[in-house]
Chains A and B, each alone.
Chain A
Amino acid sequence: MRLGLKGRLVVFVSAFIITFGVVLTALSVRAQNERLRHELEDRGKLLTTVIAANTTDALAMLEVRELRNIISEARDQENVLDAVAFDEEGRVLTDGTVVNPRRHMLISEAAFRHASGSKSLLVEFDADAMTVTKPLHLGGQVLGGVRLRYSLSGLAEDQASLARRTATVGAIFALLGVLAAALLAEAVTRPLNEVIQATRALSEGKPVPRLAVRTADEVGELAEAFNEMTRKLRDTTVSRDYLDRVLETMGECLVVTGPDGTITRVNSAVCNLSGVGEDELLGQNCRDLFRAPHGHVSLLDALGPDGSAQGLETELLARGGEAVPVMISVGAMEENVGRNRSYVVAAADISERLRHEQQKDEFVTMVHHEVRAPLTAVRGAIGLLEGGVAGELGERGQELVKIALRNSERMGRLVNDILASRKLDSGRMEFHFEKVEMMPLIEQAIDSTSAYAATHKVRFELQEGVPGAMVRVDPDRMMQVLTNVLSNAVRFSPIDDVVTVQASRSDRMLRVAVSDAGPGIPEDFRDHVFEAFARGEHEDWRHRSGTGLGMSISKGIIEELGGTITFETELGAGTTFLIDIPESV
């Protein structure tokens, strides 16, 4: 039978107490036996000494009858087995009896030797008795002595009685010890049993009562720790439920896999998108759910060293063979470093976005074919009208033709910007890189924009340059950026003001700074400066913004060229756009 903690505690503590009690009892009995023995010895010595003192005169006078009477009385004393008085030769004078059968017999040689040379008591023990010999001397001469033999049976009885009493007391204490052990075990195991029962209730999902903390010791700490654990577990459960609800509510698909890609969890979005139930999905491999991204054999193959990936476009394989385009982000979770790596795959349905992209492409194609070509024809026709091909126009006619031409050009720029923006978004804009000198590009841009600036009564001033600095860019696209920035500065410059252009070099980067003294960019618009069709809220601002695509296009181009475009602005003081492009050596 296997004992529980309580049983072991009872057995162990009881065994300890009983062993301790037995040892203590044995030691006590031994000590008390020694005490009884010493008491007997002391009594024997005292009685012998008294008897000896009483016999001294009789011995000196050789009054044997008197000696006999004294010794006879000595024999009547408790525990006295035998008594004799002996002479200086060690011969028995009397044993206290009239018959005196040992008369003249020699006492023990050891006792006689002792009596001859000492006045002290001689105590001898044998199995049954203690013999005390008291020598008597008078005037330096040995008279003889008395020798009393005491029974040890009384001592043995006393010792046995004492041992019985001690054993009884020991047994009582042992029983009390067992009882105490049982109570101790109960006291120790009761809180543990409460913990066990509470743990079982916890594992079975039953309500877990708060454990009573009765003591400030380890058991009390255990109860407190358990209560704290259940509280945290309850919180964790609530958090998990909350997380579950979040996961179930979110529109994105969420898939958790094991190290080998085995699906261990999905949210309802996955089921909805794939048309496959959760039970069926669990245990499948994610390669059965997601098509491998382009250029990879599997989804996991596309992950980086850290087990993560962002923005992977692939397809979710739905029931019935349908493939749903999704954008995937993967994160790795490691329960142990290097082992048991799990993956969290978040997949967003991008079919709608792709559809919008396709619609944009169709729109651009439509603009390109249905707007740009006719517009070119319109501009050509207006140009012919302005050139007088259709006859000399009156002043009013010329004015109207100029308005038409200006607006057609504006519309052309808008179309070009739209097409350029779309090309940038779709990655279809072509770049022809070549190593060119930067300053001529700047000067050329200034020249090409000067006419436009003149219409706004603004002039350019190239204040600083970096002669000979080379860049590796598409010159046309670089020019496009520069003219965008310059024309933008013109639009926001006050009349008769100057737009300054500075080119500088720093850490193998060339910087082109275009500054105007305009009103500055409103704070609430600064984050949207490079967004497409961003023109601000204020009427004046919107009026100056042009198509709203220029800065967006410029940013897209300059980043494709390996550079950056930023700005520094101050309301009422002006704005400086900074174009940084790597210097080519």
Chain B
Amino acid sequence: MGSRLHLGLLLTIAIGCGQASEPPPSSVAAEQPAPAGVLTIGSVSLNPTHEYEVVRPFVDFIAANLHHVGIGRGEVVVVSSLSHMIEELREGRVDLFIDSPFPAVFVWQHTDVEPILRRWKRRSDVYRSVVFTRADSGVESVVDLAGRIIAFGEPFSTSGFLMPKAALASAGLRMVNYEDPAASIPGDRVGYVFSNDAENTMFWVLKQKVVAGAVNADYFEALAGDRISELRILLTTDAVPRNVVCARRGLDPKVVQAIEDLLLEMHLNDEGRASLEKFEETTRFDRFPGGSDQDLAHILTLLPHVQEDLGQ
């Protein structure tokens, strides 16, 4: 599954929004001629159509509320890889990039963007990952994973892959990707396979298809259910922001400010909440409590362990 990011195929969909789509919900937009400015949100996905359908209402809402700063319509650009997104940002074809912390920090590290806000999803501002095993597996700590196979979720999942892998790697374990869960693993490395689903991961551990697995800590108890007693948590990662909003540095500061102001207050009104809800169950936006540099510093330290995974 991880091969999806190795395709090198760049899918770029730039779809006009605003005037060409449904009328924006803003009354201001209806009364005044739309400005010529365009705000473009970029997204990375292997399912561009679905992604466009998710993002488009959101960018429409934003654009409709930025007429006062010259933004008349919104656009969505969906690409298939972070490298392509970096290029789009670098070329100025994408103004805003919203993603999980690892991809966001990766992009931040490779082009001229600024993390401006945190994005809450499903009422969570941060999340963690847990690495778990069966209580009767004989694995007492992450060190015991050497020579064994661990299951991660999807290759682009922060909580299901990037974060736990980075945590294990930072603990000194050599993480090597395998295709076969039954593969023989040398004792100096920890093999990992992608289950591509948190439930898969849970059942693979419970059914001893793999010795351990990693899932979002928020879902661990639900996934374990009444069999939680049969499991042992080996590692819980540090909390990281749920999502990060990055703005292209070349974007007009007035526009950036207006975007921040708008996003920070969206959850305060019905129209804003409705738009947030449609945008992948976004709860709200806020500023980094400790500042973006501090709050993302931990990810920066882990980033080298997953640099290769993100860059592909």
Residue pair B200, A103 in contact (C-beta under 8 Å):
no
Q: How far is the CA of A93 from the CA of B197 in the complex (A)?
A: 13
Whether, in the assembled complex, A252 has its beta carbon less than 8 Å from a beta carbon of chain B, the answer is no
Given contacts A62-B204, A62-B207, A62-B209, contact A94 B225 (CB under 8 A): no
Residue pair A104, B226 in contact (C-beta under 8 Å):
yes
Whether, in the assembled complex, A447 has its beta carbon less than 8 Å from a beta carbon of chain B, the answer is no
In the assembled complex, which residues on chain A have CB atoms less than 8 Å from the CB atom of B204? 62
Picked from A63, A65, A104, the residue with its CB within 8 Å of the CB of B225 is A104
Chain A nearest CB: distance from B165 CB in Å? Answer: 20
- A-B residue pair count with CB separations less than 8 angstroms: 35
In the assembled complex, which residues on chain B have CB atoms less than 8 Å from the CB atom of A580? none
Residue pair B225, A64 in contact (C-beta under 8 Å):
no
Picked from A64, A87, A104, the residue with its CB within 8 Å of the CB of B200 is A64
Whether, in the assembled complex, A100 has its beta carbon less than 8 Å from a beta carbon of chain B, the answer is yes
Picked from A65, A99, A104, the residue with its CB within 8 Å of the CB of B227 is A104
Whether, in the assembled complex, B196 has its beta carbon less than 8 Å from a beta carbon of chain A, the answer is yes
In the assembled complex, which residues on chain B have CB atoms less than 8 Å from the CB atom of A137? none
Residue pair B199, A100 in contact (C-beta under 8 Å):
yes
In the assembled complex, which residues on chain B have CB atoms less than 8 Å from the CB atom of A104? 225-227
Whether, in the assembled complex, A372 has its beta carbon less than 8 Å from a beta carbon of chain B, the answer is no
Q: How far is the CA of A104 from the CA of B222 in the complex (A)?
A: 10
Whether, in the assembled complex, B233 has its beta carbon less than 8 Å from a beta carbon of chain A, the answer is no
Whether, in the assembled complex, B288 has its beta carbon less than 8 Å from a beta carbon of chain A, the answer is no
Chain A nearest CB: distance from B209 CB in Å? Answer: 6
Residue pair B200, A62 in contact (C-beta under 8 Å):
yes
Whether, in the assembled complex, B223 has its beta carbon less than 8 Å from a beta carbon of chain A, the answer is yes
Measured CB to CB, the nearest residue on chain A to B197 is: A65
Given contacts A62-B200, A64-B197, A94-B199, contact A103 B209 (CB under 8 A): no
Whether, in the assembled complex, B203 has its beta carbon less than 8 Å from a beta carbon of chain A, the answer is yes
Q: How far is the CA of A560 from the CA of B3 in the complex (A)?
A: 162
In the assembled complex, which residues on chain B have CB atoms less than 8 Å from the CB atom of A64? 197, 199-200, 202-203
Q: How far is the CA of A99 from the CA of B199 in the complex (A)?
A: 10
Chain B nearest CB: distance from A69 CB in Å? Answer: 10
Q: Chain B 52-88 against A: per-residue CB contact (8 Å), 1 yes, 0 no? A: 0000000000000000000000000000000000000
Whether, in the assembled complex, A68 has its beta carbon less than 8 Å from a beta carbon of chain B, the answer is yes
Measured CB to CB, the nearest residue on chain A to B210 is: A62
Q: Chain B 192-213 against A: per-residue CB contact (8 Å), 1 yes, 0 no? A: 0001110110111001010000
Chain A nearest CB: distance from B312 CB in Å? Answer: 23
In the assembled complex, which residues on chain B have CB atoms less than 8 Å from the CB atom of A65? 195-197, 199-200
Measured CB to CB, the nearest residue on chain B to A103 is: B225
In the assembled complex, which residues on chain B have CB atoms less than 8 Å from the CB atom of A63? 197, 200
Chain A nearest CB: distance from B226 CB in Å? Answer: 6
Chain A nearest CB: distance from B219 CB in Å? Answer: 10
In the assembled complex, which residues on chain B have CB atoms less than 8 Å from the CB atom of A68? 197, 199
Q: How far is the CA of A64 from the CA of B203 in the complex (A)?
A: 8
Query: 8 Å CB contacts to B: which residues of A548-579?
Result: none
Query: 8 Å CB contacts to B: which residues of A85-121?
Result: 87, 93-94, 99-100, 103-105
Q: How far is the CA of A485 from the CA of B226 in the complex (A)?
A: 157
Most central of A63, A65, A68, A100 by chain B CB within 10 Å: A65
Q: Chain A 498-520 against B: per-residue CB contact (8 Å), 1 yes, 0 no? A: 00000000000000000000000
Q: How far is the CA of A100 from the CA of B203 in the complex (A)?
A: 13
Q: How far is the CA of A99 from the CA of B225 in the complex (A)?
A: 11
Q: Chain B 248-269 against A: per-residue CB contact (8 Å), 1 yes, 0 no? A: 0000000000000000000000
Most central of B196, B203, B204 by chain A CB within 10 Å: B203
Query: 8 Å CB contacts to B: which residues of A353-388?
Result: none
In the assembled complex, which residues on chain A have CB atoms less than 8 Å from the CB atom of B200? 62-65
In the assembled complex, which residues on chain B have CB atoms less than 8 Å from the CB atom of A94? 199
Q: How far is the CA of A63 from the CA of B225 in the complex (A)?
A: 18
Chain B nearest CB: distance from A58 CB in Å? Answer: 10
Chain A nearest CB: distance from B135 CB in Å? Answer: 15
Measured CB to CB, the nearest residue on chain A to B153 is: A65
Q: How far is the CA of A65 from the CA of B227 in the complex (A)?
A: 19
Measured CB to CB, the nearest residue on chain A to B207 is: A62
Q: How far is the CA of A65 from the CA of B215 in the complex (A)?
A: 14
Measured CB to CB, the nearest residue on chain B to A58 is: B200
In the assembled complex, which residues on chain A have CB atoms less than 8 Å from the CB atom of B225? 103-105
In the assembled complex, which residues on chain B have CB atoms less than 8 Å from the CB atom of A99? 222
Picked from B197, B202, B207, the residue with its CB within 8 Å of the CB of A87 is B207
Chain B nearest CB: distance from A28 CB in Å? Answer: 49
Q: How far is the CA of A65 from the CA of B198 in the complex (A)?
A: 8
Chain B nearest CB: distance from A144 CB in Å? Answer: 11
Query: 8 Å CB contacts to A: which residues of B163-201?
Result: 195-197, 199-200
Q: How far is the CA of A100 from the CA of B225 in the complex (A)?
A: 10
Chain B nearest CB: distance from A374 CB in Å? Answer: 172
Chain A nearest CB: distance from B156 CB in Å? Answer: 15
Q: How far is the CA of A65 from the CA of B225 in the complex (A)?
A: 17
Q: How far is the CA of A137 from the CA of B227 in the complex (A)?
A: 24
Residue pair A103, B223 in contact (C-beta under 8 Å):
yes
Between A and B, 29 residue pairs with Cβ closer than 8 Å are A62-B200, A62-B203, A62-B204, A62-B207, A62-B209, A63-B197, A63-B200, A64-B197, A64-B199, A64-B200, A64-B203, A65-B195, A65-B196, A65-B200, A68-B199, A87-B203, A87-B207, A93-B199, A93-B203, A94-B199, A99-B222, A100-B199, A103-B222, A103-B225, A104-B225, A104-B226, A104-B227, A105-B225, A105-B226
7 interchain residue pairs of minimum CB distance: A65-B197, A64-B199, A104-B225, A64-B200, A103-B225, A64-B203, A104-B227
